Each structure stands twice: as structure tokens, then as C-alpha cells.
């Protein structure tokens, strides 16, 4: 959106009533005709604006998009959201984020999209990303931690996602190791973090977050390996995508500041409180190798699952599917 059009929207939000064309033209230093053209463009972007010759213009409703205009004003002004980049459609916000990060984008840059044509899931899978239904975003971080500690940030994004779901819906999400967010056993959000690093130093980490918000049951692909759901399916209520996104980014910001100050301990503890298998007997299956059974004892600093076996020995599990017995 044009800078002046964004400034007009900002004025509408601050005024909460009619704003005269004359006032807008004075504030922005442009002609009344130019104001009228910007208003047309704003309408074209889905905003509903009333115009009365005697009173001026008034914002009646905003579209539910993830555009910078819709999200910026709802953020805490911390590290996350320093810069916001929005796409109507892109292959994958993670791919865009990596490209921007490699070109020097600042820490906290957030990339959102209305639709992904090639949304990426874990283990080379695809992530269903229909237009206007859900949240697809990627966040660029540049933490001064060791590359092997980077998985800690995936746990951090899982906790932020669980918090945002609980706050917006009142539901009680659970996290399944390594980082699926579930509601009543069905997957509602997925996380895909990617990293660029040298031996001892991280260049950047991309936190990719997909949350099924307003998707209907018919919109899910038939061939899903595990049952999936959306907040709409669970509550029957559509959630404002911009509101949810800002909520999530604000939670992420709080957690990330805490993480930079005090490390992984707080995140690990909250993650364990959300974990569906905490202290439970589980079976871990891993493509072809024999299933391992034990007590879910916790997670290690590199994200490994700590499985306590019957003889007391703790096994470190790096990948696999965990089933609670
Ligand atoms: C998973 O398989 O559970 C991870 C899914 C991650 C999806 C999100 S949507 C935003 C970001 N961009 C992508 O292409 N993938 C992640």
C-alpha cells in the first residue's frame, strides 16, 4: 500500500469518527484530489469507507488480511515485528524469509502471506495453505547462541503458538514432540524452523509458523497422515487473522526477550507443561527401526527427547513419532 494511503488509515484509526478531506490534505501535504485517489485505492484493498460531503470520510470496516497496516498497530514494539513484509501469494514465507535474511533483513522481520502455493512442512511434506483462511508467517531471528542450541527456538515458537491459541479461543492446546500443536489430539499448527550457520555461529534462524485458523473441514487435503483441525472447526467461531497474528507475535516477543535474558529454562518448563506426553509412558517409532518404549522424561538442550527406560537408563531420541500409551 502507498505510504500516504497507510498514513490516511492511521489517521482514521486514531480519530475514530469522520475526518474531513481538508484535514487529511493538510496533514499529508497533498491536494484534495490526491486524497480522493488514495481513498479509492484504500477501498480497492477491501476497506469499507463512508464518504459524506458535509463530514468527510469514516472507516467502517477493515478487511481481515495479514497486511502490515492491519498488524503493525497491534504490536508491542519489541524485537518481533520491527519490519513487516506481506505477500498476497508466495511459494513459501520461509523461502522469502531466507532470501530476505541472506540480503541483510533485520532481526525481528516478519513475513506473512494470504496464501502459499508451495507451503513447506517438516520432513519434505507440503503444508496446505489456502488463501485467506489461516496464518502463514516466518520470522527472522539472529540470536547469539550456538548452532546446536537453535532447536530451542522451535520449542519457544511452539509455546508462543500454544499461548496465542489459548488466549484467543479459550481452548487448551497440547504440544506433541517435537513441535506439533494439537487440540484434542488433532494438529492445529505446525512449525518449520530453518537455519543458516557457520561451525560456531548462527547467521540467522527462520521461525516458520502455520496455524489453521478459519479453515473448514472440506478445505483439508484427503491424504493427511494425521488428523488435523482448525480453531474454527473446534469453536464454530471465525477468528480475526490479524488479531491472532498480532497476539502470537506479541507472545513470541515476550518469550524471545526472556530467552535472550535468561536462557532456555523458562521455555523448557512451559513447553513441558503443554506437552501431551509429560511424565507418561510412550512408544517412539522411527521409520523401520524397532519401537522404543519408556517414560517421557523431558527434552535436552538440543531438542532431543529424553526417554527413561525401565532399567533407568535415559535414551536420547532425535527423531520419530511419539505415541502416548
Ligand atoms: C509441519 O510440517 O508441521 C510444519 C509446517 C510449517 C508451516 C509453516 S506455514 C508458514 C511457513 N512457511 C512454510 O512454507 N512453512 C511454514
Q: In a 10 Å sphere around its CB, with 0-12 CB exposed, 13-18 middle and 19+ buried, how is residue 288 labelled?
A: exposed
User: Mean pLDDT: which of 27-36, 104-113, 305-314 is highest?
Assistant: 104-113
The answer to whether residue 222 scores a pLDDT higher than 90 is no
Q: Please confirm whether the linkage preceding 178 is cis (ω < 30° from 0).
A: yes
- Closest alpha carbon to 69 in 245, 252, 255: 245
Residue 171 to residue 173: CA distance in whole angstroms? 6
Residue 277 to residue 294: CA distance in whole angstroms? 11
Nearest-atom index, ligand 1, CA of 190: 3
Amino acid 276: pLDDT: 92
Nearest-atom index, ligand 1, CA of 125: 2
Half-sphere exposure of 259 (CA within 13 A, CB side): 29
The answer to whether residue 99 scores a pLDDT higher than 90 is yes
Amino acid 269: pLDDT: 96
Q: Please confirm whether the linkage preceding 235 is cis (ω < 30° from 0).
A: no
Number of Cβ within 10 Å of residue 54's Cβ equals 6
The answer to whether residue 46 scores a pLDDT higher than 90 is no
When pLDDT is cut at 50, 70 and 90, the band that residue 60 belongs to is: very high
Amino acid 73: pLDDT: 87
Q: Residues 166-194: what's their mean pLDDT?
A: 95
Residue 186 to residue 226: CA distance in whole angstroms? 7
Residue 191 to residue 161: CA distance in whole angstroms? 9
Q: How far is the CA of 95 from the centre of ligand 1 (A)?
A: 11
Amino acid 156: pLDDT: 97
* Average pLDDT value over all residues in the chain: 94
Number of Cβ within 10 Å of residue 108's Cβ equals 21
Residue 185 to residue 2: CA distance in whole angstroms? 44
Residues flanking ligand 1, CB < 6 Å = 92-94, 116, 119-122, 125, 127, 136-138, 180, 190-192, 208-210
Residue 159 to residue 47: CA distance in whole angstroms? 33
The answer to whether residue 13 scores a pLDDT higher than 90 is no
The answer to whether residue 289 scores a pLDDT higher than 80 is no
Q: Whose CA is nearest to atom 15 of ligand 1?
A: 120
When pLDDT is cut at 50, 70 and 90, the band that residue 319 belongs to is: confident
Amino acid 62: pLDDT: 87
Q: Residues 186-196: what's their mean pLDDT?
A: 96
When pLDDT is cut at 50, 70 and 90, the band that residue 20 belongs to is: very high
Mutation test of ligand 1: which of 173, 177, 208, 213 has the most ligand atoms closer than 8 Å to its C-beta? Answer: 208
With beta carbons less than 8 A apart as the criterion, state whether 119 and 222 touch.
Answer: no
Q: Residues 142-154: what's their mean pLDDT?
A: 94
Q: How far is the CA of 195 from the centre of ligand 1 (A)?
A: 14
Q: pTM, whole model, 2 decimals?
A: 0.90
Amino acid 290: pLDDT: 80
Amino acid 287: pLDDT: 75
Question: Could you tell me which residues are beta bridge partners of residue 296?
Answer: 307
Q: Residues 11-39: what's their mean pLDDT?
A: 92
The answer to whether residue 116 scores a pLDDT higher than 90 is yes
Mutation test of ligand 1: which of 127, 181, 206 has the most ligand atoms closer than 8 Å to its C-beta? Answer: 127
Amino acid 215: pLDDT: 95
Q: How far is the CA of 262 from the centre of ligand 1 (A)?
A: 28
Residue 5 to residue 39: CA distance in whole angstroms? 7
Half-sphere exposure of 8 (CA within 13 A, CB side): 33
Amino acid at each position: 500500500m502507498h505510504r500516504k494511503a497507510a498514513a490516511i488509515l492511521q489517521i482514521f484509526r486514531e480519530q475514530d469518527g469522520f475526518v474531513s478531506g481538508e484535514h487529511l490534505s493538510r496533514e499529508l501535504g497533498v491536494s484534495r484530489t490526491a486524497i480522493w485517489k488514495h481513498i479509492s485505492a484504500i477501498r480497492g484493498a477491501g476497506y469499507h469507507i463512508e464518504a459524506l460531503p458535509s463530514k468527510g470520510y469514516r472507516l467502517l470496516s477493515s478487511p481481515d488480511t495479514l497486511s502490515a497496516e492491519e498488524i503493525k498497530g497491534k504490536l508491542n514494539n519489541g524485537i518481533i515485528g520491527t519490519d513487516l513484509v506481506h505477500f498476497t501469494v508466495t511459494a513459501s514465507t520461509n523461502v522469502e524469509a531466507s532470501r530476505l535474511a541472506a540480503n541483510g533483513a533485520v532481526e525481528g522481520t516478519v513475513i506473512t502471506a494470504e496464501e502459499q502455493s508451495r507451503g513447506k512442512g517438516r520432513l519434505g511434506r507440503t503444508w496446505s495453505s489456502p488463501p485467506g483462511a489461516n496464518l502463514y508467517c516466518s520470522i527472522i531471528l539472529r540470536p547469539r547462541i550456538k548452532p546446536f542450541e537453535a532447536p530451542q527456538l522451535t520449542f519457544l515458537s511452539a509455546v508462543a503458538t500454544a499461548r496465542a491459541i489459548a488466549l484467543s479461543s479459550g481452548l487448551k492446546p497440547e504440544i506433541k514432540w517435537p513441535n506439533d500443536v494439537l487440540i484434542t489430539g488433532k494438529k492445529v499448527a505446525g512449525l518449520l524452523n530453518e537455519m543458516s550457520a557457520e561451525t560456531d555461529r548462527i547467521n540467522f534462524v527462520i521461525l516458520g509458523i502455520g496455524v489453521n485458523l478459519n479453515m473448514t473441514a472440506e478445505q483439508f487435503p484427503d491424504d493427511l497422515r494425521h488428523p488435523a483441525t482448525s480453531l474454527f472447526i473446534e469453536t464454530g467461531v471465525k477468528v480475526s487473522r490479524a488479531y491472532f497474528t498480532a497476539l502470537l507475535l506479541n507472545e513470541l516477543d515476550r518469550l524471545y526477550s526472556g530467552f535472550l535474558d535468561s536462557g532456555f529454562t523458562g521455555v523448557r518448563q512451559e513447553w513441558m507443561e503443554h506437552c501431551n506426553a509429560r511424565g507418561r509412558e510412550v512408544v517412539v517409532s522411527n521409520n523401520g527401526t524397532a519401537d522404543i518404549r519408556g517414560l517421557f522424561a523431558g527434552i535436552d538442550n538440543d531438542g532431543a527427547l529424553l526417554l527413561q527406560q525401565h532399567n533407568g537408563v535415559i535414551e536420547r531420541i532425535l527423531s520419530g513419532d511419539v505415541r502416548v500409551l
